[in-house]
Amino acid sequence: MPTSKFAACAVIPVYDHERAIEAVVTGVARSGLPVLLVDDGCSDGCASELRRLSERPDVTLLRHPVNLGKGAAVLSGMRAASEQGFTHALQVDADGQHTLADVTRFVEEARRHPEAVICGQPVFDASIPKARYYGRYLTHAMVWLETLSFEIRDSMCGFRLYPLQAVTDLTAHTKIGARMDFDTDILVRLHWRGVPTRWIATSVSYPADGVSHFRMFFDNVRMTSLHVRLTLGMLVRSPVLLWRKVAAARSAPGDEVVR
């Protein structure tokens, strides 16, 4: 069990990414972080691969008997990490799109700013589908409205490092989106609670043989519902958010993206 004041691990939610997951685990472990895999109701082939990987001394495996969603898997992993004594958890997607050489940069930034969520600000190459690239800007605009701030520069990137106490405090009182709405939902709600964000520019690619579990109709409906709820939540919190904005304008300028 970790004993130092700052202790980080990686949480990787997995749903049928058996072709990519070994490289992801190896890339994260190379940074020195212990890895906590969450089998979110995977098929037999992927489950078998995860069991094999869990034989490594730096890997722990949790399992959901059925698929509960990316967000539910991340939260299960973070609860387990907190119970094991970790103070911070790095969320990494299992499909291989993140630049894992940047893991050490996230950890170093978290050591300097342990109270903040260290967020990846994606730099996309030509592999990103155009519909996704332009569709992200609608979510960006909604999030800026929901926070009355430009602090959250990208709410959809699943490469970020959380202070676990802040997540524990939030989820003790608030239900967070369990599926593709998770990344945006938790970041907006942490912002509402005054948890700061720090940003690291990181390259993101979409593997040609990658597996996407985004369901165009159902997940777009889910995201629309989320933004309705967050907008209503913003209206209730708007006096506090506006006062925070005024106070921030009087203090130091906003954080720059770390490159």
CA 36 – CA 38 distance, rounded (Å): 7
In a domain, 3, yes or no: no
Q: Where does the pLDDT of residue 4 fall: very low under 50, low under 70, confident under 90, or very high at 90 and above?
A: low
Q: What is the pLDDT of residue 19?
A: 93
CA 50 – CA 10 distance, rounded (Å): 15
Domain extent, residue 78, equals 8-250
Rg (CA), the chain: 18
Which amino acid, 12? I
Instruction: Examine the pLDDT at 142 and tell me if it is beyond 70.
Output: yes
For 124, residues 6+ apart whose C-beta sits below 8 A from its C-beta are: 133, 203, 204, 205
In a domain, 131, yes or no: yes
Contact 14, 50 (CB under 8 A): yes
For 81-144, the DSSP string reads HHHTT-SEEEE--TTS-B-GGGHHHHHHHHHH-TTSEEEEEEEE-TTS-HHHHHHHHHHHHHHH
| DSSP assigned state of 49 | H
Instruction: Examine the pLDDT at 176 and tell me if it is beyond 80.
Output: yes
Contact 27, 104 (CB under 8 A): no
For residue 77, give the nearest of 7, 172, 10 by alpha carbon.
10
Which single residue is written with the structure tokens 């004594």? 85
In a domain, 257, yes or no: no
Which single residue is written with the structure tokens 């967050």? 230
CATH number of the domain enclosing 88: 3.90.550.10
Q: What is the pLDDT of residue 241?
A: 93
In a domain, 1, yes or no: no
Quick one: which H or E segment has residue 169? Answer: helix 164-171
Domain tally, the chain: 1
Q: What is the pLDDT of residue 113?
A: 98
Q: What is the mean pLDDT of residues 2-14?
A: 86
CA 168 – CA 162 distance, rounded (Å): 10
pTM value surpassing 0.75: yes
Contacts 24+ apart (CB under 8 A), 128-133: 128/204, 128/205, 128/206, 129/206
User: SS3 for 18?
Assistant: coil
Contact 50, 61 (CB under 8 A): yes
% of residues, the chain, pLDDT over 70: 86
Which single residue is written with the structure tokens 């898997």? 73
In a domain, 88, yes or no: yes
CA 76 – CA 40 distance, rounded (Å): 10
77-128 tens-digit pLDDT: 999 999 999 999 999 999 999 999 999 999 999 999 999 999 999 998 766 6
Q: What is the pLDDT of residue 99?
A: 95
Contact 160, 91 (CB under 8 A): yes
In a domain, 255, yes or no: no
Which amino acid, 67? N
CA 145 – CA 133 distance, rounded (Å): 20
In a domain, 208, yes or no: yes
Q: Where does the pLDDT of residue 209 fall: very low under 50, low under 70, confident under 90, or very high at 90 and above?
A: very low
In a domain, 259, yes or no: no
Q: Both tokens of residue 236?
A: 């209730």
